């Protein structure tokens, strides 16, 4: 017992020391960025959810970004670069079911429908995709609504797509219901958290006053009729514009450029002042006159102002601002990073890159573009529209099955080294890593159409008795005549 009491006593004596050492180790392992002190004083970081932040700031962010895109050349260029790379000439589908005949029928139906896809009648499916992506980048999100059409409308498939800006979604409608369902910023969810409906204003809120009537109450539209395109940066229900991190930099750079330009104009307007013998008594404030004796109230280029009783001439010496070019480049780099666009593509300034560094930057940018295509645009916009069309085509008796899978082919990026890239593609096909159809689809063409054209052209060449070097049936890669089938080339 004495031995046990001694051990317990020793533990009690060292317990404060152990606790203090444990606290010191814990403090040493803490995150410096979470510390409180002079370095982080004034740093207010709220723990609100993404939905709460979007609800509070989404409308203002959309309005400000749209204003910048309308008036700021850098913002306009950033949006255009992103749209051109994400959509390009179009993200094209190809039926990929097990039945080749069904696939051909589905592809033909889609091709005819795509020309009449726009409910507003302005463009085709690829134009709708480009506009939807532009709205997502500039406004944060966009809604695509399925509109069923009557047979009397004489459309290839009785369905069309209407794009609605994010403003149509009634963000003020939020409600918690007793059955477990809820409405969050105009989006209705069932008890399991699945999207059930959207509450949408019939007219754009910005048009209500201009149309001579007030804003009508939002209407409930089933979720199956809506494709909601936006980028999820957190677990959130609605999106924000892409360039949000660059908004302040864009605004500040624009304001600085205007202020600097005005300062230069003022400095260049005044050539000189004519002062009197006593400069302290002949201040500019009482009277500054031009050569005709008129009071000067506005500076003009080449102006010489006369102070009362002036006898001495002092010419204006405009000041110079050093480092303007470097400062502008730094700000433009910040803006490019905020939009996730390479500086060279945003500004067109290629003076600081060579072939290798430019290609490395493009590769990283293209990886980001591919991620957006496959993780956002295709599953949220393209795939739902394909399902709508196949369902409507099946209802109209144009295809035998409403559930036909599709493979999507985003536009191929322009090659920096075409010969090298084409050689790599050929090796991929020969090694079995990809198919000829996949390579054709990557270039934005329909594989079936390309093969049909090849077949027709080959028949015409054979009928005319012509052999061209570009015909792989007759000529080898080395320019030699191809051996007949079943023989071995020497």
What's the pLDDT tens digit per position in 123-138? 999 999 999 999 999 9
Please report the pLDDT score of residue 445 as a whole number: 77
Please report the pLDDT score of residue 284 as a whole number: 45
Asked if the model's pLDDT at residue 426 lies above 60, the reply is yes
* pLDDT tens, residue by residue, 383-421: 999 999 999 999 999 999 999 999 998 988 877 777 888
Please report the pLDDT score of residue 490 as a whole number: 43
pLDDT-above-90 percentage for the chain: 49
Asked if the model's pLDDT at residue 117 lies above 80, the reply is yes
- What's the mean pLDDT when you consider all of the chain? 84
220: left (phi over 0), alpha (psi -120 to 50) or beta: beta
Q: Is the pTM of this model over 0.85?
A: no
Task: Determine the Cα–Cα distance for residues 16 and 22; give it in Å rounded to an integer.
Answer: 10
Length in residues, the chain = 490
Contact status, residue 377 vs residue 86, Cβ threshold 8 Å: yes
H helices present in 311-400, as ranges: 324-339, 343-347, 355-372, 383-395
Please report the pLDDT score of residue 311 as a whole number: 60
The first and second tokens of residue 13, run together, are 């004596």
Give the residue, 17 or 449, on which the prediction is more confident: 449
Task: Give first-to-last CA distance, the chain, whole Å.
Answer: 101
Buried b (16+ CB within 10 A) or exposed e, 360-384: eebeebeeebeebbeebbbebbbbb
Mean pLDDT, rounded, for 331-335: 94
Where along the chain do its domains lie?
Answer: 50-242, 247-315
Mean pLDDT, rounded, for 114-119: 96
309: confidence class by pLDDT, cuts 50, 70, 90? low
Strands 195-200 and 219-222: antiparallel
Mean pLDDT, rounded, for 77-101: 94
Least confident of 51-55, 200-204, 297-301: 297-301
Mean pLDDT, rounded, for 153-166: 96
Least confident of 56-60, 134-138, 259-263: 259-263
The number of helices, as runs of H, and strands, as runs of E, in the chain is: 13, 14
Contact status, residue 353 vs residue 344, Cβ threshold 8 Å: yes
């Amino acid at each position: 017992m004495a031995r046990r009491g001694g051990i317990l006593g020793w533990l009690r004596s060292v317990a404060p020391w152990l606790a203090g050492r444990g606290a010191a180790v814990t403090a040493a392992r803490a995150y410096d960025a979470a510390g409180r002190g002079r370095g982080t004083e004034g740093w207010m970081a709220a723990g609100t959810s993404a939905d709460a932040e979007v609800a509070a700031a989404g409308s203002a962010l959309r309005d400000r970004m749209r204003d910048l895109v309308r008036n700021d050349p850098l913002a306009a260029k950033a949006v255009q670069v992103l749209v051109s790379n994400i959509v390009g000439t179009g993200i094209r589908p190809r039926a990929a079911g097990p039945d080749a005949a069904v696939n051909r029928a589905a592809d033909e139906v889609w091709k005819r429908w795509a020309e009449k896809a726009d409910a507003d009648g302005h463009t085709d499916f690829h134009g709708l995709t480009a506009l939807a992506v532009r709205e997502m980048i500039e406004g944060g999100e966009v809604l695509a609504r399925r509109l069923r059409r009557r047979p009397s409308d004489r459309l290839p498939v009785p369905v069309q797509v209407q794009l609605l800006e994010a403003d149509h979604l009634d963000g003020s409608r939020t409600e918690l219901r007793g059955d477990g369902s809820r409405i969050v910023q105009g989006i209705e969810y069932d008890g399991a958290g699945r999207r059930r409906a959207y509450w949408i204003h019939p007219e754009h809120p910005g048009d209500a006053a201009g149309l001579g009537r007030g804003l009508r109450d939002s209407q409930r539209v089933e979720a199956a009729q809506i494709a909601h395109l936006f980028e999820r940066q957190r677990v959130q229900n609605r999106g924000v514009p892409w360039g949000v991190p660059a908004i302040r930099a864009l605004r500040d750079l624009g304001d600085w450029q205007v202020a600097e330009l005005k300062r230069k104009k003022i400095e260049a307007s005044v050539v000189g002042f004519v002062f009197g013998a006593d400069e302290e008594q002949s201040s500019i404030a009482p009277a500054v006159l031009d050569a005709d004796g008129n009071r000067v109230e506005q500076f003009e280029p080449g102006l010489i102002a006369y102070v009362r009783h002036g006898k001495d001439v002092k010419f204006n010496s405009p000041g110079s601002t050093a480092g303007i070019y470097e400062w502008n480049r730094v700000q433009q780099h910040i803006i490019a990073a905020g939009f996730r666009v390479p500086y060279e593509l945003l500004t067109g300034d290629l003076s600081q890159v060579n072939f290798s560094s430019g290609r490395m930057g493009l590769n990283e940018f293209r990886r980001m573009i591919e991620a957006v295509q496959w993780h956002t645009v295709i599953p949220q916009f393209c795939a739902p529209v394909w399902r709508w069309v196949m369902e409507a085509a099946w209802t109209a008796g144009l295809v035998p099955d409403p559930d036909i899978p599709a493979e999507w082919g985003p536009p191929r990026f322009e090659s920096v080294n075409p010969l090298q890239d084409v050689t790599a593609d050929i090796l991929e096909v020969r090694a079995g890593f990809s198919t000829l159809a996949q390579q054709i689809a990557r270039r934005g063409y329909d594989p079936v159409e390309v093969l049909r054209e090849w077949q027709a052209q080959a028949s015409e060449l054979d009928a005319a008795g012509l052999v061209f070097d570009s015909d792989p049936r007759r000529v080898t890669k080395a320019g030699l005549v191809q051996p007949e089938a079943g023989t071995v080339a020497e």
